[in-house]
Amino acid sequence: MAELTPEQRAYVAAHKTATLCVDPDWVPFESLNSRGEHEGIAADLLQLVAERTGLAFALVPTKDWDESLAASKEGRCQVLSFLNETPLRKEWLLFTDPIFNDSNVFITRVEHGFIDDPASLTGESIVFPRGTSMEERVRSEYPNLTILTTGSEGEALDMVEDRKADMTMRSLIVAAYAIRKEGLFNLKIAGRLPNFANNLRVGVVKSEPVLRDVLNAGIQTITPQERGQIVNRRVAINVQTGTDKALALKVSIVFAVVLGLGFIWNYKLKKYNAELTRLSQTDLLTDLPNRRRLMTAFEAELERARRYGRPFSVIMLDIDHFKAVNDALGHLAGDRFLIGFARLVRDSIRHTDMAGRWGGEEFLVLCPETGRDQAAHLAGRVLAAVAAHDFGTGRAHTVSAGVSAFESEDTGDALLSRADDALYKSKQTGRNRVSVL
C-alpha cells in the first residue's frame, strides 16, 4: 500500500473517486474497448495506483484525444491518464512523477534513409495525431519539417504508407507493436528523436494538488518488475490461423530485438543520467550532498513542515580551528581530515537525516520530524563523537554547532540565519558546544 499523509487519507475518504479521461486510440498504451472500458498499459498501471491508494477512477468516455484534452480544460475530468509534461499543458495541469518511460522514434517507409539529425532534413513532412506533445515540440524545434495532422495513430501510419507523409513519430513500444500487429512490412523504425524520451505522467487539474500527491504516492510503489510484466502482457500478440508462421516468427524476432535494444538503451541512458545527477549534487571530496543538493532537500522539507505542520530542525556544524590543521600539516592532510569528519557525521546521525557540506569546513544537517530539543541532543552526539575520535593528526579536535527549529512564520533564509547565529554564539562562547536559537 502507498504511504499517505493524514491530509491525503482524508482526501481519499472524502472523495473516493476521481474522474478520468484517456486517449481512446493509443494501443498498446491505452484505448477504450468495444464495451467502453479502459485497457492497455496505462489502465493496468492506474489499476495498481487505485489498489494501493484506495482511490477509484470514474471513466469519462471521449471519442478522441482532442476531446479528452478539452474535457480536462473544462473540468469535466480531474485526471488525464498518460501524457508528457509540456509548457502548454502546465497552464491548466499539475503533473505526477513519471509513471512510465519510453523512447520516441521516427517511422518511415523502408526506402527512407536513417535519421540521425532531424534538423538536417529538407523538404520533408511529418504527420501526427492532433494534440500530441511531440507535435508541439517538433513545431518549435524543427521548423524545417512540414507538420501534418490527422485524427488517429492508424491514419498517421496510413499516410506514411501511402506516401502522403514522409514520416511519423511514435513511442518505441507503439511503433514496434503497430508494425508487427498490422503487418506493415514496408515501414521501418528510422531513428530516434534526440534527447527526448516519453516521460509519461498523470495530469491533474490545478485545483486538485492533494489528488496529485495521492496519485504520486501510488505511482512510487510501482516497481520496474511490475512495469515490465505489464508491457510483456500488453504487447504480446497472438498469431492468427492462416498466417505465414515463418514470416510471423521473423517479425517477432525483429520486434523482440527492437524492443530489447530500446529497453537496454533506456536503461543505460537512465543509469548515465542518474550518475551525472549524483555527481552534480555531490561534494567530490567528502561524497556528501553538496550545497545545491542540500538546498533542494531543505526547500522540500521546509514546504512539508509548513504545509502539514510537522517539526523540522537544522544543525550547522563548523570544525574548530580547522585552519590550524591546514597550516601545520598541509592541505592534503586537511582533505583527509574533512573526509574522516564527513564519515563520522554521517555515522552519528539517523538514517532519516541528511548531512551535507555547506562550504569549506562548515556542514549542514537537515532533521525532518525533529523538534528543537531532539536536534540539540543529536548535535551533542556529533560533538561527542568528534571529541572522542582519533583523526591521526596527533591532536584532539572539536566541532561547534548551531541549532534552529522551524517556526510557523519562518522563511528558509530566516531558519538558516538563526542556525548560523547560533553557531556564531557557540564559537564566541568557547567552541565545542551546542547553541540553540
User: Residue 262 — very low, low, confident or very high, per pLDDT cuts 50/70/90?
Assistant: low
Higher pLDDT, 236 or 347: 347
Instruction: Report the C-alpha gap between 197 and 176 in whole angstroms.
Output: 16
Candidate from 3-12, 102-111, 260-269 with smallest mean pLDDT: 260-269
| Mean pLDDT of the 295-314 span | 92
Distances in whole angstroms, Cα of residue 12 to Cα of each of 36, 66, 155: 25, 29, 40
| Mean pLDDT of the 145-174 span | 89
User: Residue 282 — very low, low, confident or very high, per pLDDT cuts 50/70/90?
Assistant: confident
Contacts of 307 (CB under 8 A, 6+ apart): 7
| Mean pLDDT of the 50-68 span | 95
The yes-or-no verdict on residue 128 having pLDDT over 80 is yes
Share of the chain above pLDDT 90, in %: 59
If you average pLDDT over every residue of the chain, what do you get? 87
Specify which residues 405 forms β-bridges with. 313
The yes-or-no verdict on residue 279 having pLDDT over 80 is no
Burial class (CB in 10 A: 0-12, 13-18, 19+), 375: buried
pLDDT reported for residue 167: 95
Distances in whole angstroms, Cα of residue 180 to Cα of each of 19, 175, 183, 239, 351: 34, 9, 5, 10, 49
Instruction: Report the C-alpha gap between 419 and 423 in whole angstroms.
Output: 6
Tell me which residues are annotated as active site. 361
CB 354 within 8 A of CB 296: no
pLDDT digits (tens, 9 = 90+) for 173-223: 877 777 766 667 688 888 877 666 778 999 999 999 999 999 999 999 999
**Element (DSSP H or E) covering residue 379:** helix 372-388
A 10 A CB-CB count for 274 gives 10
The yes-or-no verdict on residue 248 having pLDDT over 70 is no
Distances in whole angstroms, Cα of residue 342 to Cα of each of 283, 290, 360, 397: 11, 12, 12, 14
| Mean pLDDT of the 140-163 span | 90
| pTM, entire model | 0.48
CB 363 within 8 A of CB 317: yes
Using the 8-state DSSP alphabet, how is residue 296 labeled? H
**First and final C-alpha spacing in the chain:** 40
Question: What residue spans of 111-244 are helical by DSSP H?
Answer: 133-141, 153-161, 172-182, 209-219, 224-235
Candidate from 18-27, 175-184, 242-251 with smallest mean pLDDT: 242-251
Instruction: Report the C-alpha gap between 264 and 86 in whole angstroms.
Output: 26
CB 174 within 8 A of CB 28: yes
pLDDT digits (tens, 9 = 90+) for 344-399: 999 999 989 999 999 889 999 999 999 999 999 999 999 999 999 999 888 899 99
pLDDT reported for residue 264: 60
Instruction: Report the C-alpha gap between 289 and 283 in whole angstroms.
Output: 6
| Mean pLDDT of the 91-101 span | 94
Strands (E), 304-428: 312-319, 354-359, 362-368, 399-405
pLDDT reported for residue 401: 97
pLDDT reported for residue 272: 52
Q: Which strand ranges, in their side-by-side order, compose the sheet holding 399-405?
A: 354-359, 362-368, 312-319, 399-405, 434-436
Instruction: Report the C-alpha gap between 77 and 67 in whole angstroms.
Output: 11
Dihedral-angle region of residue 430 (phi above 0 means left; psi in -120 to 50 means alpha; beta otherwise): left
CB 131 within 8 A of CB 67: no
pLDDT reported for residue 243: 44
Instruction: Report the C-alpha gap between 42 and 28 in whole angstroms.
Output: 9
pLDDT reported for residue 192: 79
